[in-house]
Amino acid sequence: MKKIINKPENYVKEMLEGLYVAHPDLITYTAGDLHCLVTANKKEGKVGIATGGGSGHLPLFLGYVGKGMLDACSVGDVFQSPSAEQMLACTKYINSGAGVLYIYGNYNGDIFNFDMAAEQADFEEDIRVESVVAGDDVASAAPTKPGEKNTRRGVAGIVFVYKCAGAAADAMLDLDEVKRIALKACANVRTMGVALTPCIVPRVGKPGFSIADDEMEIGMGIHGETGIRRGKLEPADQIAEEMVVKILADIPFSQGDEVAVMVNGLGATPLDEQYIIVRKVDELLKKAGLKIHRYYVGEYATSLEMAGISISLLKLDEELKKYLDAPAQTPFFVQL
Amino acid sequence: MDATLIKNFLNTTAKVMMEEKDHLIEADSIVGDGDLGLTMSDGFTAASDAIKENPIQDCGKLLYTAGKAMSTAVPSTMGTLMASGLMSAGKTLKGKTELTREDILSLFDAFLSGVIHLGKAKQGEKTFIDGFAPGCDALHATADVQLKESAKAAADASMKGYLGTKGMLAIHGRAATRGEASRALLDPGAYVGALLFKGFYLSLE
């Protein structure tokens, strides 16, 4: 294991200490617990938005706490859910009477803890909490039929959900409305990923799975969960095409629809390679008759030092476009 | 029967989980990510420690406090499910300083419904519930015999329930990704269910 760390067991704590040192104008913590990260600019009367999840995915999840996006994030150990208690502490801090919306990914540990935190917020604190679970990974399960529960994993597309819901809350919409916007963003976002190398959880010290030097896995999850297929590493254009085709087959769209596109590096893929993908994605989307409203390129949701990328599409209507375009300022996301 | 019963139950269960740690790790390494032995021994120890010296006599509050300690100590899937069970039992017994046989049945029933409420699993889906629910049923069926004897029947029934998970198809968690191949395996979560009744029985000895 080659990592720039001190003791593996201090990995998350020291990462958080660094973040608080670097961004005191935007974030702080509550309940005396570094893992309960909250905004330093609480806006009175606004619906609070909280997220949470395991560490190892920076800038996800905590990197989007700030102005115009999220108000709190409870931070777990690497790839592990934070506790309901930590979520509850964040909930109490960010509630200013308008209630709190939880937005998090579709993982059992997170679901159980957020459900429990929501129940405690109601039972112990009389805080109204609503939840939206993001599940945008096309590779992880078949599309949900009406009335069925979405079993897809949540991956990088959740950033779009944060952005739209965050802007809606910032515009002082009420809890039901903010939730509606979040659900709408969830329903219109799709992601596909590809992984080239495994990652090492610091406390484990060795790769969590193996993949040959000349191989890639299309659709692998952000913790190394099985994807759609494993095969020989292909040129960038072919990889981009396979992913875009799968996404477009999944998201109902018509000619002329507008989309926002995110090309996201998983941790060890340089920006150069991400832009090589962008070039091809642009060509494919235009050929499919879509209008591209804006691009987001860079690292938005990573998996430690995993090499690979993901592509997310958010299909827009006027409402989502308005909230996507609203300004925001967080440690990892600045939009004027 | 008073708060001592709750304290003894959790203390003994923590010891049982500690003794079974390696077995749980091994079983979970086959179907899950291998941390079940650690989370269950750490979790029940934290739950027990949180109330061991607690002067509160309210059995419900003690169980709720133990559940909160569990959820903070081990926020894993199983840790949170057990915390939900304890907190649900706590809500049911709130205000009671003396426990009747009826209350003890309610304790375990509420524990089960707390787990079901959070985990959304049903009996027969190869989970904790398949080890735990048969124990609850046995407690009800033997409600007229001496408590210790009834607890023994529950421990036996839940162990049998655990062994019955071989052959079931996994629907939840990582085991489910194995599909039909999951049938050949025993469910470690159901084993935790059986160990809870073992802990309860031993705590009465």
Condensed to tens digits (0 to 9), the pLDDT of residues A11-61 reads 999 999 999 999 999 999 999 999 999 999 999 999 999 999 999 999 999
Mean pLDDT computed over every residue of chain B: 93
Where is pLDDT greater, at A270 or A210? A270
What does pTM read for this prediction?
0.91
d(C-alpha A309, C-alpha A314), whole Å: 17
Over residues A125-130, mean pLDDT: 98
Quote the tokens at residue B131.
């080890």
Using CB atoms, pick whichever of B68, B75, B172 lies closest to residue A113: B75
The pLDDT of residue A239: 98
Where is pLDDT greater, at B172 or B126? B126
d(C-alpha A78, C-alpha A60), whole Å: 12
Per-residue 3-state assignment (H helix, E strand, C coil) for chain B: CCHHHHHHHHHHHHHHHHHCHHHHHHHHHHHCCCCHHHHHHHHHHHHHHHHHCCCCCCHHHHHHHHHHHHHHHCCCHHHHHHHHHHHHHHHHHCCCCCCCHHHHHHHHHHHHHHHHHHHCCCCCCCCHHHHHHHHHHHHHHCCCCCHHHHHHHHHHHHHHHHHCCCCCCCCCCHHHHHHHHHHHCCCHHHHHHHHHHHHHHHHHC
Q: Is A208 left (phi over 0), alpha (psi -120 to 50) or beta?
A: alpha
As for the ipTM of the complex, it is: 0.82
Cis ω for the linkage preceding A112 (within 30 of 0):
no
Over residues A219-244, mean pLDDT: 94
The pLDDT of residue B41: 95
Over residues B151-180, mean pLDDT: 90
Beta partners for residue A272, in sequence order: none
Tens of pLDDT, residue by residue over B92-146, are 999 999 999 999 999 999 999 999 999 999 999 999 999 999 999 999 999 999 9
| A223 labelled catalytic | yes
Question: Which residues of B are less than 8 Å from A85 in CB distance?
Answer: 68, 71-72
The pLDDT of residue A210: 87
| CB atoms inside a 10 Å sphere around CB B90 | 25
Sheet order of strands, A291-298 included? A229-232, A215-218, A189-195, A308-316, A258-265, A291-298
* In the block, residue with structure tokens 């078949």: A142
The pLDDT of residue A225: 85
Tens of pLDDT, residue by residue over A160-170, are 999 999 999 99
pLDDT band of residue A95 (cuts 50, 70, 90) is: very high
Interface of B with A in 60-99 (CB under 8 A): 68, 71-72, 75-77, 80-81, 83-84, 87, 91
The pLDDT of residue A53: 96
**CA distance to partner chain A, nearest, from residue B18 (Å):** 22
- ∠ CA B125-B162-B190, nearest 5°, is 60
Please indicate if any CB of chain B lies within 8 Å of the CB of A228: no
d(C-alpha A181, C-alpha A64), whole Å: 17
Tens of pLDDT, residue by residue over A282-317, are 999 999 999 999 999 999 999 999 999 999 999 999
pLDDT band of residue A149 (cuts 50, 70, 90) is: confident
Question: Which residues of B are less than 8 Å from A83 in CB distance?
Answer: 71-72, 75
d(C-alpha A37, C-alpha A27), whole Å: 7
Burial degree of B29 (CB within 10 A; 0-12, 13-18, 19+): middle
Over residues A118-126, mean pLDDT: 94
pLDDT band of residue A9 (cuts 50, 70, 90) is: very high
| A293 labelled catalytic | no
The pLDDT of residue B180: 83
Whether the per-residue pLDDT at B173 is higher than 80: the answer is: no
Mean pLDDT computed over every residue of chain A: 96
Quote the tokens at residue B38.
């650690």
